[in-house]
Amino acid sequence: MGTEAIGVGLIGYGLGGSAFHAPLVQAEPGLRLCAVVTSRAEQVRRDHPGVEVVASADALLADPAVELVVVAAPNAVHAELAATALRAGRHVVVDKPFTLSTAEADELISLAEAEGRLLSVFHNRRWDADFLTVRRLLEAGPLGEVSSFVSRYDRFRPAPKGGWKEEAVPGSGILWDLGPHLVDQALVLFGLPETVAADLRTQRPGVEAVDWVHLVLGYGRLRVLLHASMEVRDPGPRFEVHGDRGSFVKWGMDLQEAAMRGGARPGDPGWGSEPPERHGTLTTEVAGLELRGRLASAPGAYQDFYAAMAVAISGGGPVPVPAAEARDTVLVIERALASAREGRVVEVRP
């Protein structure tokens, strides 16, 4: 990599832009945050002194120092903004969900190829401590052949917060908010499923968008259950993995988001690590003897996404999340919407 840091322009400074993208870009030596498109100018100046605030994507793209554009705007405009940036000759990172349809995803993938630009999607929870642990565990094989996998996001927000994510607008609701994390992790572990069955509901008064999600992905004998809801005061396990030789159960969310919202950054002492009381429980068998104990979590590593992106732009490796993989996540969500609408199990694979 050269000595010059790659200039980054960020579109959007809500939760995603302020708590994830901006601090992670600033933590990567190969990148430099140049400008942010937002109406929250004072917040940007307080958080990142010296970073320019501009009023529009056009103004951002007028700056030749911006080589990489990060789209962290509302879901419904992801495709439009990403296409504009690609046509302007910029590399692009799109926050999840990539797009709201596979047709939009295919258009962006083709456009990036035609323009010779890199395109990636910010599926940061591939670098959660618990998910990295589960991934390594499945690769090591102590659970045997996995027959059931449960992944859930339980939250307790009985009173609506307000805003577009709870309104009946394109891209709203937790299927498009939390669902991409759940689906992407399942696809990383098991690939594209054969079928999906979905139950989607709106439970809370005053909310117009889906706030209860239950998906069952079919992989032959393997069943993958993905669940998210907003009225769970006492959460269940984050992961349950069961096979013909053993089980792994993990409680508690990854700590990196809370750490960054509290001002911590990658590189701080203990970054990404979990205390022993949060480690998952592994139960398996060796030489006819049942073994049960805590399995230390792998360190979480959100910083790896932008580190890989910087290397990719400099010509040294692939993007951290290929757009084609993010497109598959959108495909599963499309099929889930069809399943819930039609009340039946839907085939996923073409």
Predicted confidence (pLDDT) per residue in 221-247, tens digit: 999 999 999 999 999 999 999 999 999
Going by pLDDT thresholds of 50, 70 and 90, the confidence category of residue 2 is very low
| Location of each CATH 3.40.50.720 domain in the chain | 6-124+304-318
6-124+304-318 is classed CATH 2.60.40.10: no
| Location of each CATH 3.30.360.10 domain in the chain | 129-253+267-300+332-347
What pTM was estimated for this model as a whole? 0.95
Write down the pLDDT at residue 141.
Answer: 92
Question: Among candidates 87, 228, 88, 60, which has minimal Cα distance to 151?
Answer: 228
Spell out a b/e string for 246-279, using b for 16 or more CB atoms within 10 Å of the CB, else e. bbbbbbbbbbbbebbeeebebeeeebbebeeebb
pLDDT tens for each residue of 8-17: 999 999 999 9
Write down the pLDDT at residue 1.
Answer: 39
User: What is the CATH T-level fold of the domain 129-253+267-300+332-347, as seen in this structure?
Assistant: Dihydrodipicolinate Reductase; domain 2 (3.30.360)
Give the chain's end-to-end CA distance (angstroms, integer). 40
Region at 133 (left for phi over 0; alpha for psi -120 to 50; beta for the rest): alpha
For the chain, what is the mean pLDDT? 96
Share of the chain above pLDDT 90, in %: 95
